């Protein structure tokens, strides 16, 4: 991968006709498939194009380079997760603290598991395509959502600390990642869901009542 990092991430061209929209979608899906079947090392634009049934040239018409291609898929995935969690936070306002946390955590776990394959595959490239910066942005979004939700809790004694929420989110994401990278079994997922709820609940309880 000789490309110099972080240059030209924007999509090059926007689909206008219907067929090109199909092409772009095919490329996007092929990206995931190639990542899944060939691994991050042997992920090449040529392979993606072949899998998508288009030529390399076409691919490069929409994505200026390999990184942009991967970044687009990563961004898409993370946005989906973020939206799901945000919606859960909206929906859990005014409920008891423990219930809030439960709904938020379960929404997160479920959103991730919805496309566990993509999640797992993306971990392997995230760090090389500006993932951490993106994660930072998304985390901030989620922190705000969680913060707003917590402020409506009837049974929280203190306003929640921003840093504590960040920590909780990072911990949650970390545990999830650990599971996905290990290859999750249905049983393990169920258990993690439970444990993560308990973890976040007990931490938030402690963080909103102490200090």
**For residues 52 and 200, which CB has a smaller minimum distance to DNA in the complex?**
52
CB of 119 to DNA, least distance (A): 22
18 touches DNA (CB under 7 A):
yes
CB of 134 to DNA, least distance (A): 19
Long-range contacts of 85-94 (CB under 8 A, 24+ apart): 85/111, 85/142, 85/145, 86/141, 86/142, 86/145, 89/145, 89/146, 89/148, 89/149, 90/145, 90/149, 92/149, 93/148, 93/149, 93/152, 94/152, 94/153, 94/154
**For residues 15 and 144, which CB has a smaller minimum distance to its own copies in the complex?**
144
Written as one string, the DSSP assignment of 16-77 is: -SHHHHHHHHHHHHHHHHHHHHHTTTT--HHHHHHHHTS-HHHHHHH-SSHHHHHHHHHHHH
**For residues 18 and 210, which CB has a smaller minimum distance to DNA in the complex?**
18
CB of 96 to its own copies, least distance (A): 16
- Closest to 197 in 3D by CA, of 113, 114, 111, 103: 103
Give the integer Cα–Cα distance in Å for 50 and 59.
Answer: 10
Given the rule CB under 8 A, which residues bind its own copies?
A: 1-5, 39-42, 123-125, 127-128, 132, 135-136, 139, 163-164, 166-168, 170-179, 181-182, 191-192, 195-196, 198-199, 201-203, 205-207, 210
56 touches DNA (CB under 7 A):
yes
CB of 152 to its own copies, least distance (A): 22
If contact means CB under 5 to 8 A according to the sort of partner, which of its own copies, DNA, none does residue 152 touch? none
Residues in contact with DNA by the rule CB under 7 A: 1-3, 13, 15-20, 22-23, 42-46, 53-58, 60-61, 64-66
């Amino acid at each position: 991968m000789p490309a110099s990092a972080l240059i030209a991430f924007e999509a090059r061209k926007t689909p206008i006709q219907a067929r090109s929209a199909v092409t772009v979608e095919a490329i996007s899906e092929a990206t995931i498939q190639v990542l899944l079947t060939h691994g991050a090392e042997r992920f090449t634009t040529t392979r993606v194009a072949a899998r998508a049934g288009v030529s390399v040239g076409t691919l490069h018409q929409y994505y200026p380079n390999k990184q942009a291609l991967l970044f687009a898929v990563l961004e898409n995935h993370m946005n989906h997760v973020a939206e799901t969690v945000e919606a859960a936070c909206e929906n859990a306002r005014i409920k008891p603290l423990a219930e809030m946390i439960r709904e938020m955590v379960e929404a997160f776990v479920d959103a991730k598991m919805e496309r566990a394959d993509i999640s797992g595959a993306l971990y392997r490239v995230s760090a090389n395509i500006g993932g951490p910066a993106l994660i930072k942005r998304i985390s901030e979004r989620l922190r705000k959502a969680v913060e707003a939700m917590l402020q409506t809790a009837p049974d929280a004694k203190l306003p929640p600390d921003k840093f504590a929420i960040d920590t909780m989110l990072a911990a949650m994401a970390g545990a999830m990642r650990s599971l996905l990278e290990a290859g999750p079994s249905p049983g393990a997922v169920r258990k993690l869901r439970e444990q993560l709820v308990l973890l976040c609940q007990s931490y938030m309880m402690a963080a909103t009542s102490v200090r």
